[in-house]
Structure formats: structure tokens, C-alpha cells
Structure 1
Amino acid sequence: MESLLSTEQHAQLYDAENIWSADDEFFLAFANERSASRILDLGCGTGRLTLALAAAGHEVTGVDPHPGSLAAARSKPAAETVRWIEGTSAVLNDEAPFDAVLMTSHVVQAITDDTEWARTLLDIYRVLAQGGRLIFDSRDPRSRAWERWTPAQTRNELTLADGTHVQLWIDSAPSDNGLVNITEHRLFADGSREFEDAVLAFRSEQQLRTHLSDAGLHVSSVFGGWHRQPAGHGTGELICIATR
């Protein structure tokens, strides 16, 4: 079904739903532990964190498979300070090694196919410098976040730059093999409606550790929240840091 929103409106909606928060502060602080690094923001979306990394003095490449998201990123102030590439990790061929690869906003959970996930980690290993670091966040299945993704707990109202008013809510249903089906519902001021389906993969801490090890990456830390709480505590996150 064709969306009632334009590509530009989808990007505006994403930015309105995903504002700067504790996770961005965490990833930026992580990157700033090593000054003037060469950083890959894999799954950069509309460039919220990507541009902040560049503003902090890093040499940044943003990669995303969605042309609409990249178009929005390229239209933002100081976008010329970032190298933007449309695609997935597979497009990274003859790159100079990166000091760090970041995958934020739970983007790893959108990679639901195990073969594609394994290939992504191998691609990351290939483009990381020796001693380079990978960091990503994934929701801990032990916290059962999908049980809180109900219409009553997720209802929100947003107004886009052009005045379009949208009411939103989410419902979810767990499937097999750690997958959870998500549906975002949208109700517009004129009474028209649409919905968008997605699937997220919930991988356990042990699964993530095994997958990283299989790709040749050494896991140095797994945190459960943005204040570096142990996994199983904190805010229901699995924030994984691994080195090549």
C-alpha cells in the first residue's frame, strides 16, 4: 500500500519521533574517547548523530539503505562535512580502515535474517582498523519490551513542518525465533488512516557474543543501560562493544 506521506514527510516524522537523547550522548562520548577518529555510522538514518560526530572533529562516513533518509541527512546544516553513501555494509569495498563503527537506534534489530547479520559483522571486521571498535545497541529480550508496545502506552501526536497532524500508536506480537512483529498506525486530521509493518529481531546477550566472536571480533563490554549498568540491569539494553 502506498503511503499517504511523502518521502520528505516520512523523514520529518522519523526525526520528530527520534529526538536527541541519552543514547546519542552515550555514542558520542564513546566516539570522543579517541579524538579525530575515522568513524563509520552504519545505518545512519537522517544523520542526527552522524552530523554531531563530524561537528566533534571526526572524519565520518554515513551509510544507509534508504534514499529518503539520506536525502534528509544531506539537506541538513553542515551535511557537507560527512561522506554519505546509499547502501548496506556490502557497499564498503576499498575503504581505508575505520577506527570505529557505530550502529545506533537499535538498527541491528532490523537485520532479521541470520545470514545477513553474520555477513554484516564480517563486513564490519573487514573495514575496521586493527584495534578498531564496534559499538551497537540491541534490546535485551529479557526485558520483553514488546509487551509495552501497546496502543495505550505508545499513543502520540505530532505535527510536521508543513502542518500535517498525525496521531500514532504501535502494537506488537512476538513470532518465532526471537522475532517480533511491529505495526505503527497513523491517523490523520481528515480521518484517513495508514499503517506500516516491521519485524525486529531480539537476540540474547549470549547470541550476540557468539555472533561477534564468529566474526573475529573480541567482546570487551556489554552494558544494560546508558550509565554502563551490567547487562540484565539498567534500561533493558544490550550495548555491545567489540574490538578487531
Structure 2
Amino acid sequence: MDRVGDSSEGDAAVVFTDADAAALYDLVNPWDPERWPGDGFYDELVRAAGSVLDVGCGTGAMLRLAREHGHRGRLVGLDPDPAALARARRRADIEWVEGTASDARWDAAFDLATMTGHAFQCLVTDAELAASLAAVHSALRSGGRFAFETRHPQARAWEDWNPSAASDVVDAAGRALRLWHETESVIGEVVTFTGTTAAADGTVLRVDRTRLRFPAEAVLDAFLADAGFVIEARYGDWGGGPVTGTSREIITIARRR
């Protein structure tokens, strides 16, 4: 299942709180390297790195599982969502920091930085991209790697974000819910869409509006080069295949020069 709605901007009804939304995200998007190839891809990188900064860590599932599986190095999760971090902080032997990618203030502290779940696409403006990449670059040791993925714009994933693709779930509180996404606009590389959480009878409980950027490879590479990165690997799928005319993903491992 593709992970749509990796970041939200307000519009929340009080009847379905931020804490509820964070718990629901974990339910709908469980971190499972055995089941999801993308999770397995990052899990392997994290296990091999002595120190890891997970930018946009959300509820911290990736780092928590790494620690559970025996990772003994430094693990730090960075995210701007207090409700998500409240869930992450259930694991106290990992550092959890509130902030955005551009807020990162570490200096040559990590072997690996990650942005999973298409979180990189939440960097919408040129200024956000440049500042965030500069901060991640500074946080990495010389030769450190930055791994992330974006949806390939050629796949036009936003065309599948509509109420006809709604899903039904029962949350931890026992509430029957219906979830769907709906694209509002596509302007250049930026897609604006809403994510709706409703009761089973259709009563809307919460609407979150999100903007995501869908940069092409050439755009990504120009920003990475300007920030001092070189491309170490580039894949079009989680099995390690090349980017082709039918790829749905642009998966990048960049190295700090």
C-alpha cells in the first residue's frame, strides 16, 4: 500500500484529535520489513549504520524496531508533529527531537540519514529543499549517506487519490472509520490533496490538507549537487531495478562529499 498523506497542515476537527490521527497512522501503515519491500530496504541500511538520523520520523516505528532488533548505535528521530513524537517517545533509549529537516543542527554526527514514507516530498519550495538538504549534509559525517524516495511524477500517483479508493478500518478505540484522499490541484510539480477520516456512516471527523512536490530526477540531482552530495545509487523500485519509463519511485542514496 502506497503511503499517501505523509504530512498534514491543520484543518483538524476536535472530534478526532492529533493523537488519534497518530495512532491511526500506525495502524494503517505498520512498519514491517518482512511485508513491505520499502521498509526492508531502509531496515537493511539502518542496521548497517553505526549512527542514524531519521528525518520526518513520525511515530518512530523504523528506529524503534531497529533498537528492538539489537541496534546499539546512536539513533535520533526528528519530526515536527508533537502527537507523533509522543508515540515515538514510548521508546526512551532513542533520541526524539521536535523540528523540521531544516531545523537539524548536528555537525558531522551521523553515518546515515533517512527520509522514509515519501516524507521528502513534503519539502515543497526551493528554499525548503535547499535549507533541508544543507542541514542534512551538515549532520552527516564525511562519506555519510542520505537515503530517501519520492514518487516518480511520470506515474501520476495523485490520479488514484479519490473517494472511490476509500478504505474501511477499525481503530484502537473500536471506532469503525472510512478513510480516503482527494486531489484538489496539480500546479507544476506541486500536488495539493486532502485526507479525510470519517465515521462508518460518512460523518466527517477530520480533514487534513497536504501539499507534496513531485520533482523529476534532474531537479533532485541539481538540489543534491548544490548541497554537496553525490549520487551513490538510484533505483526505480525496491528490488534495486533501474529507473525506467514505467517506474513509480525514484529511490536515492546520496553520499556527502
Q: Distance in 2 between matches of 1:189 and 1:229?
A: 40
Are the counterparts in 2 of residues 168 and 185 from structure 1 also a CA contact under 8 Å?
A: yes
Query: Contact (CA 8 Å) 1:101, 1:133: kept in 2 or not?
Result: yes
* Partner deviation per Cα, 1:19-64 (whole Å, 9 max, x = no partner): 2222111101122334xx1100010000111212223413200010
Aligned residue number for residue 222 of structure 1: 234
Match of 2:158 in 1: 146
Which of 13, 16, 19 is the matching residue for 1:8?
A: 19
Query: Is the 2:189–2:215 Cα contact (8 Å) retained in structure 1?
Result: yes
Q: Cα–Cα, structure 1 residues 234 and 70, in superposed 2: closer, same or farther, change >3 Å?
A: farther
**Aligned equivalent of 1:44:** 57
Bigger relative CO (Cα 8 Å, ≥ 6 apart): 2
Are the structure 2 counterparts of residues 49 and 235 from structure 1 closer, same or farther at C-alpha, using a change threshold of 3 Å? farther
Question: Which residue in the other structure is 1:182 paired with?
Answer: 193
Match of 2:46 among 26, 31, 46: 31
Q: CA offset at residue 15 of structure 1?
A: 0.9
Q: Look up the SS of the partner of 1:81 in the other structure.
A: coil
Match of 1:115 among 120, 127, 134: 127
Q: Does 1:125 align with 2:137?
A: yes
Cα root mean square deviation, aligned: 1.7
Cα distance in 2 for residues equivalent to 1:221 and 1:144: 23
Larger mean Cα displacement after TM superposition, 190-199 or 154-163:
190-199
1:72 and 1:87 mapped to 2: Cα distance? 16
* Structure 1 match to 2:5: none
Is 1:159 matched with 2:174? no
Determine if contact 2:137/2:227 at 8 Å carries over to the other structure: yes
Question: Does 2:241 match 1:243?
Answer: no
Q: Which region of structure 1 is more displaced relative to structure 2, 49-58 or 116-125?
A: 49-58
Partner of 2:4 in structure 1? Answer: none
Matched-pair contact (CA < 8 Å) for 1:146–1:174: no
Of 62, 72, 83, the residue aligned with 2:95 is 83
Query: Residues of 2 paired with 1:170 and 1:27: CA distance?
Result: 26
Are the counterparts in 1 of residues 121 and 150 from structure 2 also a CA contact under 8 Å? yes
Would you say how many aligned residue pairs link Structure 1 and Structure 2? 238
Which runs of 5 or more structure 2 residues have no equivalent in the other structure? 1-10
CA distance in 1, matches of 2:195, 2:76: 30
Deviation at 1:113, TM superposition (A): 1.5
CA 1:91 to 1:200, structure 2 compared with 1: closer, same or farther past 3 Å? Answer: closer
Contact 2:37–2:239 (CA<8 Å) still a contact in 1? no
Structure 2 length as normaliser, TM-score? 0.87
Q: Secondary structure at the match of 2:172?
A: coil
Is the Cα contact below 8 Å between 2:163 and 2:182 reproduced in 1?
A: yes
Residue type of the partner of 2:30? Answer: I
> One-letter code of the match for 1:237?
E
Once the two structures are superposed, what CA deviation does each residue of 1:106-150 show, in whole Å capped at 9, x if it has no partner? 001111121011100000111110110000010000111111222
Percent of counterpart pairs with the same letter?
Answer: 32
CA distance in 2, matches of 1:143, 1:2: 30
Runs of 4+ in 1 over 4 A off after TM superposition: none
